[in-house]
Amino acid sequence: MLKVISPGFYTTIQDLGRMHWRHKGVPVSGTMDDLARHHVNALLENAPGAAVLEITMTGPQVVFEAESYICLAGADLSPSLNETPIQNYQVYKVVEGDTLSFGRLTKGFRSYLGIKGGFQSEMVLNSVSQYVPLTKQKKIAEGEELLYHPVKQFEPRISQIKTEHYLESKDIEVTFGPEIDILSPSQKEKLFELKFTVAKENNRMAYQLEEKIGEHSHSMLTSAVLPGTVQMTPDGQLIVLMKDGQTTGGYPRLLQLSDLAIAILAQKKSGDTIRFKQS
């Protein structure tokens, strides 16, 4: 078991997400930064979809109640094990009574904690990803105990890696969406020339951007959208749908983010800037 002493700002259990249920109106969910999840599970030699903890902005304090091996990736939240600083992208052994805590956010926005074998939780529609109303809780809570299987011995083939500096990237790679041609030439120029600022309205459902590219009067039927779809409101504001975003929408779909672009955006917080780059 992993005992949650304090849950942090917003810490959830996430895996690959709920595939093949969008036709029922069910969001994909899953990790916002799939690259970080991939890295921790690869280092721990877990299955690619093994569940991890997604830690947003402020980290939790947790106590391990059985032996295992852990790894962190994504944002740097100044983690420490028994008050000794540890590094991201490195495998560490933990034993009963060890305490993992976090300090100041220095880079990125979301950190990922993986454990050997993955965290165990209730499976709903083939996923343990927390998303109310499908799951009982939207995030982990103080005093909660999270299940994992004890592992006494593990010798990782690779115990540490160096990663791309995607946390610092401002380039968001996109392809054109179905309604891109409603834009005027000047609006298209703005779309790729402006630096856009992440608004305070950002979460697992969507990221709003502060700068506007001009009004439109295009009306359309509600149509399918995906994580990474960039929609445009009538007054010209851009909204980027994320992993808990709805499955249909009525705003024009201008752009579609790549998987890497979603991971990059997921590591941005309010006030950070990005720019769209056509792939």
Q: Is domain 169-278 classified as CATH 3.30.450.20?
A: no
Segment 252-259 shows an average pLDDT of: 97
Element (H, E) at 158: none
Whole-structure pTM value = 0.95
Each residue of 33-79: pLDDT tens digit? 999 999 999 999 999 999 999 999 999 999 999 999 999 999 999 99
156: nearest Cα among 78, 3, 46, 55: 46
pLDDT of the residue at 73 = 97
243 burial (CB, 10 Å; 0-12 / 13-18 / 19+) is buried
Q: What percent of the chain has pLDDT over 70?
A: 100
Measured CA to CA in angstroms, residue 254 lies from 129, 145, 197, 214, 244 at distances of 28, 43, 18, 13, 19
Nearest to 198 by CA among 132, 117, 131, 264: 264
Place 160 in a pLDDT band, splitting at 50, 70 and 90.
Answer: confident
- Band the pLDDT of 165: cuts 50, 70, 90: confident
Helix, strand, coil shares, percent, the chain, to 5: 15, 35, 50
CA angle centred on 219, ends 213 and 221, rounded to 5°: 125
pLDDT of residue 102: 98
* 107, 55 contact by CB (below 8 A): no
Closest CA to 119 of 60, 9, 171, 44: 44
**98: its two tokens:** 């060890």
Going by DSSP bridges, is the β-strand pair 80-81/84-85 parallel, antiparallel, or unpaired?
antiparallel
Of 129-138, 151-160, 197-206, 266-275, the range with the lowest mean pLDDT is: 151-160
Calculate the alpha carbon distances from 233 to 1, 193, 213, 228 in Å: 46, 19, 10, 16
Structure-token pair, residue 269: 């917080």
Give me the percent of the chain exceeding a pLDDT of 90: 92
pLDDT value of position 132: 95
Confidence of residue 112 (pLDDT cuts 50, 70, 90): very high
pLDDT by residue (tens digit) across 185-235? 999 999 999 999 999 999 999 999 999 999 888 888 889 999 999 999 999
* pLDDT at residue 148, as a whole number: 97
The residue behind tokens 């890696």 is: 161
Residue extents of the structural domains in the chain: 2-146, 169-278
What's the pLDDT score for residue 59? 96
